[in-house]
Structure 1
Amino acid sequence: MKPTDSELEILHILWFNGPSTVRQVHEKLSQSRDIGYTTALKLMQIMHEKGFLSREEDARSHTYAAIVSEEDTQRNLVDRFVETAFRGSASKLVMQILGQHKASREELDEIKKLLNDLNQDLSE
């Protein structure tokens, strides 16, 4: 199951800040868009039901934490995107990205290193 855009926004906050209360997440969300506290609460409750978040309950508040890792979530989203938008072709995705986005020298060096590592793995 993949998170919605709003759920992904909440996950980013929790990945960066660690376990947080609804109020803390709401404050971060409010910095970039207009969202009500009850909307943030409802989203986080749904995410808990879906298995994206854990919830610790104490007398005054609930603390939520991401159960899914950022890396696993990114991998799943990219896999689905490659399958649906590029018919499973990772090379078409990479060519599209590099054609549309000006990569920095550092990014290109990272890409070259990754390609060299992948090439080495295939030769072994």
Structure 2
Amino acid sequence: MTGTANLKPTESELEILQILWEKGDCTVRDVHEVLEKNKDAGYTTTLKLMQIMHEKGLVARDTSAKTHIYSALINQQKTQQHLVNKMIDNVFNGSAARMVIQALGNHKASKDEIDSIKKYLDELSNQ
């Protein structure tokens, strides 16, 4: 498995990884159908991206059947942690608080999300 320190998935690769993390093993067609719902993506573009992702070690490809099956090789949580840490360091000068404030100021959080954040903060302050 590839170490997260070396990962540099592009935005398009992250979209594909999100689909694989959510659905599990998929064909290119499966991934393409999900991508097509939100953006104008050609099948051959999706295929090429997934081939590149295989070369980079982001996904595995099972070629034992006529239709190739792809699966994510990298862990969703570790990838998210790596990208968030990178963003905190590079965009928010090391301040997690500034990132959280920016995120909450730019996106409407649901009551459940706010309750979850409050619960997490309470647990942190009780440690």
- TM, length-normalised to structure 1: 0.88
Aligned mate of 2:50, from 34, 44, 54: 44
Runs of 4+ residues over 3 Å off in structure 1: none
Report the AA paired with residue 16 of structure 2: I
* Alpha-carbon offset, residue 59 of structure 1: 4.0
Instruction: Give runs of aligned pairs for residues 84-103 of structure 1, distance below 5 A.
Output: 84-103=90-109
Distance 1:20 1:95 in 2: 36
CA separation of 1:21 and 1:102: change in aligned 2, threshold 3 A: closer
Superposed CA deviations along residues 38-57 of structure 1, whole A, max 9, x for unmatched, are 21111001111111101111
Q: Which runs of 5+ in 1 are unaligned?
A: none
Q: Which has the higher contact order (CA 8 A, sep 6+)?
A: 2
Mean Cα deviation higher: 82-91 or 65-74 = 65-74
Q: Is the 8 A contact 1:26 1:37 kept in 2?
A: yes
Distance 2:51 2:96 in 1: 35
* Aligned twin of 1:68: 74
- TM, length-normalised to structure 2: 0.86
The alignment status of 1:107 with 2:113, answered yes or no, reads yes
- The structure with the largest alpha-carbon Rg is 1
Mean Cα deviation higher: 56-65 or 94-103 = 94-103
* Aligned twin of 2:62: 56
Mean Cα deviation higher: 63-72 or 32-41 = 32-41
How much identity, in percent, do the aligned residues show? 53
Q: Is the 8 A contact 1:23 1:37 kept in 2?
A: yes
Distance 1:7 1:59 in 2: 24
Report the AA paired with residue 54 of structure 1: A
Distance 2:14 2:23 in 1: 14
Aligned mate of 2:20, from 14, 38, 50: 14
